[in-house]
Amino acid sequence: MKKILIATTALIATAGVASADVTVGGYGFMGVVYNGTDVDLSSRMRLTFKGTVETDAGMSFTASSRINITNGTTASAMERGKVSMTSGGLTLAVGATNGAMKSLARVANYQGFNDGGVIGFDTNTSGINDSGNNVYVSYAMGDFKAGIGSNAAGTETDIAASYTVSGFTIGLGANNNDEWMVSGKLSSGEVSAAVGYNSDDTAVLSVGYDLSDATSLSFGYKSATAGDSYGVSVSQDLGGASLTGTIGRTAAGTNVAGLGVLFSF
């Protein structure tokens, strides 16, 4: 009788989540980084958690978060938590959202095996990002996307839109602090490219090229008031993992480099 009660209780507890889709994934990397002065080991394990459920009416709800364990000992708390609701082309997201400008009008290029941590280039000017408590509403209709975002206090709001035609995407965004971003992105076969400019007189160029089915090249360049910076990476697909070598130069004139392996699971 006791076994029957336990089994019945377990069945009732799981019956409500039978249609839910819960996934756990992440990545790991290890290698060495030269910061201009020293050569250091760099490693991380990231676990990502995501759960999705769809109602009988076709409305989708998703919750996600993650945790990082860096260099073997330093573990972050659960971070970047976000809950979203989608119906048709309309999506409402609450929590650690990117906001509108960062989602639709940003150009970013990050170089390195360590999740792009050797050197990076970004045109983002928005104060709304994926580490705060925000709200973001977006709508997609074919090749057109539009969104509006705000922080929880309502002191930072932004709006942006993008449109794609023949593999070319144009994005434009602005916020209530008189900041703006514009972007153009192209994807054509083995080549991808993007250029962006913002209200801080910062320009970013990003280029990617597949040398073969297993080898790819990535280049990033940033022009800003602090100076020019660049980086280039070559990645080799090892089948389940990638080996990436990176060299770059910061706006301060410091040479940086990295070599290591990244794999996803």
pTM: 0.87
Cα-based distances in Å from 248 to 8, 233, 251, 262 = 61, 9, 10, 19
Beta strands in the chain (DSSP E): 21-34, 39-54, 60-70, 74-75, 79-87, 90-95, 108-111, 119-122, 134-141, 144-151, 157-165, 168-175, 180-188, 191-198, 203-210, 215-224, 227-237, 242-249, 255-264
Q: If pLDDT is split at 50, 70 and 90, which confidence band does 13 have?
A: very low
Predicted confidence at residue 3, as pLDDT, reads: 35
Range from 18-27, 87-96, 164-173, 200-209 carrying the lowest mean pLDDT: 18-27
Q: What is the CATH number of domain 26-264?
A: 2.40.160.10
Examine the pLDDT at 2 and tell me if it is beyond 70: no
CA angle 65, 69, 71 (to 5 degrees): 155
Predicted confidence at residue 158, as pLDDT, reads: 97
- How large is the average pLDDT for residues 27-42? 97
Where along the chain do its domains lie?
26-264
Rg (CA), the chain: 21
Residue 190 tokens read as 């083995």
The DSSP call for residue 234 is: E
Predicted confidence at residue 145, as pLDDT, reads: 98
Please classify residue 66 by burial: count the beta carbons closer than 10 Å to its beta carbon, then call 0-12 exposed, 13-18 middle and 19+ buried: middle
Q: What is the pLDDT of residues 217-240, one digit of tens each?
A: 999 999 999 999 999 999 999 999
Q: Check if the beta carbon of residue 113 is closer than 8 Å to that of residue 262.
A: yes
- Nearest to 201, CA basis, from 231, 229, 222, 177: 222
Predicted confidence at residue 19, as pLDDT, reads: 63
Predicted confidence at residue 92, as pLDDT, reads: 98
Q: Check if the beta carbon of residue 57 is closer than 8 Å to that of residue 64.
A: no
Predicted confidence at residue 132, as pLDDT, reads: 86
Q: What is the pLDDT of residues 44-69, one digit of tens each?
A: 999 999 999 999 999 999 999 999 99
Predicted confidence at residue 8, as pLDDT, reads: 31
The DSSP call for residue 129 is: -
Q: What is the pLDDT of residues 118-154, one digit of tens each?
A: 999 999 999 898 888 999 999 999 999 999 999 999 9
29 vs 42: CA distance, rounded Å: 8
Examine the pLDDT at 94 and tell me if it is beyond 50: yes
Helix (H, G, I), strand (E, B) or coil at 18: coil
Three-class DSSP labels, 70-126: ECCCEECCCEEEEEEEEECCEEEEEECCCHHHHHHCCCEEEECCCCCECEEEECCCC
